[in-house]
Structure 1
Amino acid sequence: MTEPNDRRRQEPAWDILDRDLGRISSVEYATSHLSQPLVAVGMAMVFVALAAIWAAVATDGSGSLIVIVASGLAAYLAMNIGANDVSNNMGPAVGANALTMTGALVLAAICEAAGALIAGGDVVDTIATGIVDPGSLADGRSFVIAMMAALLSSALWLNFATWIGAPVSTTHTIVGGVAGAGIAAAGLGAVNWAGLSLIAFSWIVSPVVGGTLAASVLWVVHRLVIDRDDKIAAARIWVPVMIAVMCWAFTTYLADKILKHLFDVSTGNAMLIGVVCALLSWAAARTFVARRSVGLRDRNRSLKVLFQLPLVLSAALMSFAHGANDVSNAVGPLAAIVSMSGTESGTIAAAMPLWVMVIGALGISVGLLLFGPRLIRTVGSQITKLNAMRAYCVVLATAVTVIVASGLGLPVSTTHIAIGGVFGVGFFREAVEARRMRHGAAQPILMAAEERARRKLVRRSHFMTIVAAWIITVPMTATASAILFLVLNAVGALPATG
C-alpha cells in the first residue's frame, strides 16, 4: 500500500518542479489568451479618450462639453466602421492568400486614412441635412441631441454586428440612426422619405447586381482562360484586359471623387480619364504577365500567380475609396454638431474642420487594426473558399458596380455589393460543381440529403445571418436612435446650442 508513496519520494525533485512549472506556464498561457480581447478593448477606450482630448485642444478650449462628448462618440463609431466595413476590401485578398492578415491590416489602415484625409469631406450636407431637415426641428439643441443619438445608436449596432460576424452597411446604419432621431424629434415629416426609399431599394439591388456581375466575370474567366487547353497563353491575352478594366473603374471613381475638389469634373470626363489610365495599365500589364508567366506549368494553380499583385493593388484602391466615401458616416453627425455649435444663428455652416476628419480617419484605421481580423476572416474564407481569381472577380464586380451606380446617382452600399459578389462566386461554383457531377458521371450519383448539404460551397448559416442583419439594420438603428433621443431629451442635461 505504501509503494506509490515510496516511488513519489524517490522521484527527483527537479521532475516535480518541471511539472509544476509546466502547470504554471499553461495557466499563464490561458490567461494571456483570454486577456487579449480585453487589451483591444482597453486600447479602444484610450483612443476614445484621446479623441475627446484632441477635440478640446483643437477648439482651443472653446469647444463645449457637447462637442467633446460627441467627438468621443464619433471616435467610437469610426472604430466600429473600421472593424466591420473594411473587411469587404481586404477579405478577398486575405482569403486568396495574396496578403497575410498583418499585411492586409497595415495596408488597409494606411489607405483608409489617406482616402479619408485626401478625398473625404462631403459630410455635412449628406449626413446632416440630406436625411433630416434641421429646419423641421424645434431648435438647435434638438438637432444636436438627434445627432448624438445617431452617433451612439450606429456605433452600438455596428459593434454588435461585428461581434456576431455580420458585415453590414455602415451607410445604412448611420442613415437609420439619423432618421430615427429625426422622427423622435419632429415626427415623420422631418425625414426625407424619397431618399430612404432609394436606400431601401438598394438593399435588394446592391447584392443582386454585385453577385450577378461577380459570377458573370468568373464565368468569363472560365471561358476565356481556365477552360482553355493552353491556359497560360490565354492568360497572357486576357489577364491584362481584366486589369485594364479594373484600372478604368477605380480611376474613374477616384477622379470623380478627388478632382472635383479642385475643379469641376463631370462623370463623362472622369470616365475618359479612366479610359486613358486603362490603356496605360493594359500596356504595363502585358509586360508584367509575360514575365510572370515564364516557366509556369499549364494548370489552374499557376494562374493564381498572375492575379495576386493586381488583387493586392485593387484591395488597396478599394480601401482608399472606402476611406474617402465612408468617413462621412463616422464624422457626419459630429461635423453637424460642431458646425451648429459654432454659429450664432443655429444653422449648419459649410466648413469642415480638419480635426474632425482626423478623428474619422484615425478611428477607422484603429478599429481595423484592433478588431478587423474577425470580419476579414468571415468575408475571406468562411462564406466560401476564395482563390486569387475568384477574389479578383469579386473586387472587379464591386468596383464596376460602384462606379456605374455613382454615375446613375443610385445610393448603393459597397458592403452589400462586395458580400453579394462573394456569394455570387460561391453559388456559381456550386452550379459548376453540380453540372460536373450530373454530366461527368456514367450514372447519376445518389447521396443523402445531409451529404448534399455538406458539399455546398457556400455556408448557409453565414448567408442567413448576414441577410438577416442587412434587413434589420435600418429599423434597428432607427429604433435605438429614437429611444436614445427621448432619453437624452428627457434628461435635459444638454445646454441649448446657438
Structure 2
Amino acid sequence: MDASLLVVIVVITALAFDFTNGFHDTANAMATSIATGALRPRTAVALSAVLNLVGAFLSVEVAKTISGGIVDDAKITPAIVFGGLIGAIVWNLVTWYVGLPSSSSHALFGGLIGATWVSSGADAVHFTKVVDKVLVPAIAAPLVAGVIALLATFLTYRLTRRTRASVADKGFKVGQVASAALMSLAHGTNDAQKTMGIITLTLITAGTLPAGSGPPVWVILSAGVAIALGTYLGGWRITHTLGKGLTTIEAPQGFAAQTSAATVIMASSHLGFALSTTHVASGGIMGSGLGRQRDGVRWNVAGRMAMAWLFTLPAAGIVGALAGLLAGQGTYGVVLVAVLGIAVAVLVWLLSRREPVRPEHVVDEIAAQAETHKLDVAA
C-alpha cells in the first residue's frame, strides 16, 4: 500500500477513535449535572462539546508524551499505529454498549503498546514512561479526586445544614453549571491531546515530521472537532451509569465531584500526565457519595467498573497486538483489519438499537430514583 495513503487511513482512524472517545466520555463531564437537573441533557452535551473543542487548544504536553514517550517512533510504522487504534476503538465500542465507563485513554495506550510489542519487540515500548506517565496517574488521580470530593462534600453539607434546602439546592445547581463547564474544558485539554499525539506519532514514523515535533495546528483543530462531535451525540448509556448507578447524586455532591475531578485533570494535563478522565470523574463521584453518607456508594456497580478498568489495558492490548500483526503484513492485512473493525462497529451499533438508551430515559429514571431517595429519607 502506498505510504501516503496509509497515513491518510491512520489519520482518519485516529479521528474515528477521537469521536468514540467523545461519546464514550460525555458522562465524565455532564452526568452529575444531568442527574441533579442543573442542566438538560441536550444543553449539557452542547455546552460540553464547545468546551471540549476550546480545551483542545490549551495545551500540547499530553500529546508530546504520547508522540515521543510511550513507544519508540523509530521502530514502528503507520500500520502498527493503525492496529493499535483498531484495538482501542473495539474496546471503546464494547464497553459503551454495556454501559461501563472504562478508560478510552487506557484503551488507546493498550492498543498501541500491544501492536508495538508484537510487531517491533518489547524494547520498542518505553515501559518506564508507561509506568510514570500512565500507570501511576491511573492509580493516584482517582484516589486524589475521590478524597478531595469526599472532604468537599462533607464540608459543604456541614456548612449549609442550617440553610433552607431549596435555597442551597438552587445555589449549587448554578455552581454545577460552572463546574461542568470546567470539567468539559479539562476533558478537551487532556483527552483530545491523545489523538493529537497519535496522529503526530504517525506523521513522525512516516517521515512527514521530524522526531520530537509537536502537533501541527490542523491536527489540533481536527482532533478538537472530532471529540466535540462525539461529545454532542452523547454517551447516554454511560451517563446513565455515572449519573444513577454509582450513587444518588444531589446538587452539592455534583458540584464537589465535578470541581475536584476538573482540578486534578487540569493539573495533570499541565504536567503531561495522560491520565484517564473516566477514572478521575468516577473517583470524584464515589468520593462525593461517601462524603454525604457512609453507605452512599453502590459498591456492586463500582466493582464492575473496577474490573473493566483492570481489563482495559490488557484487553485492548491483545486486540491491538493481533490487529497490528495483521496490518504489518501489507495491504491485504490493513484491509482485513479495517473490514473487521468496521464489522465490529456495525454489530455493536445494531445491538444497541435493540435496547436504546436516550436522553429522556436517563432523565426519567434519575428523577424516579431521586423521588424514591426522598421517600426513604423521610421514612
Q: Same fold (TM over 0.5)?
A: yes
1:174 alignment partner in structure 2 = 108
Matched, 1:205 2:140: yes
RMSD of equivalent CA atoms: 2.6
* 1:155 alignment partner AA: I
Q: Per-residue deviation at 1:468?
A: 0.8
**Offset at 1:457?**
4.1
Letter of the aligned partner of 2:38 in structure 1? A
Residue from 9, 13, 18 that aligns with 1:78: 18
Aligned match for 1:128, one of 60, 67, 71: 67
Q: In the alignment, residue 72 of structure 1 is paired with which amino acid?
A: I
Q: Among 90, 97, 100, which residue is 2:40 paired with?
A: 100
Give, in whole Å, the separation in 1 of the partners of 2:3 and 2:178: 41
DSSP-derived class of the 2:297 partner: coil
Look up the equivalent residue of 1:477 and give its one-letter code: A
In structure 1, what is the Cα distance between the partners aligned to 2:274 and 2:196?
19
Q: Partners of 1:306 and 1:492 in 2: how far apart?
A: 59
Q: Does 1:159 align with 2:93?
A: yes
The percentage of aligned residue pairs carrying the same residue is 28
Map residues 202-241 of structure 1 onto 2, 5 A cutoff: 202-226=137-161, 228=162, 231=163
Per the alignment, residue 326 of structure 1 pairs with: 191
**Secondary structure in structure 2 of the residue aligned to 1:119:** coil
1:314 matched to 2:179: yes
TM-score by length of 2: 0.80
Structure 1 residue 319 displacement after superposition: 1.0
User: Which letter does structure 2 place at the counterpart of 1:374?
Assistant: R
Unaligned runs of 5+ in 2: 335-379
Within the alignment, does 1:375 sit opposite 2:315 as a pair?
A: no
CA gap of 1:183–1:161, structure 2 versus 1, over 3 A, is same
- Per the TM alignment, residue 340 of structure 1 is displaced from its structure 2 partner at its CA by 3.6
The match for 2:362 is none
CA contact (8 A) 1:124 1:350 kept: no
CA distance in 2, matches of 1:398, 1:351: 27
Q: CA deviation at 1:458?
A: 2.9
Tell me the equivalent position of 2:311: 472
Change (3 A) 1:406 1:124: closer
Q: In 2 relative to 1, CA 112–409 (structure 1 residues): closer, same or farther, beyond 3 Å?
A: closer
Which residue in the other structure is 1:426 paired with?
A: 289
Distance 1:301 1:123 in 2: 42
1:15-71: CA deviation from partner (whole Å, max 9, x where unpaired) = xxxxxxxxxxxxxxxxxxxxxxxxxxxxxxxxxxxxxxxxxxxxxxx9921122112
Structure 1 stretches lacking a partner, 5+ long: 1-61, 232-298, 432-455
Counterpart selection for 1:463 from 302, 305, 317? 302
Is the Cα–Cα contact under 8 Å of residues 82 and 365 in structure 1 kept in the other structure?
yes
Higher Rg:
1
Q: 1:401 to 1:336 in 2, by over 3 A?
A: closer
Which is further off, 400-409 or 83-92?
A: 400-409
Q: Measure, in 2, the Cα distance between the counterparts of 1:63 and 1:315.
A: 42
Aligned: 1:359 with 2:222: yes
TM-score, normalised with respect to structure 1: 0.62
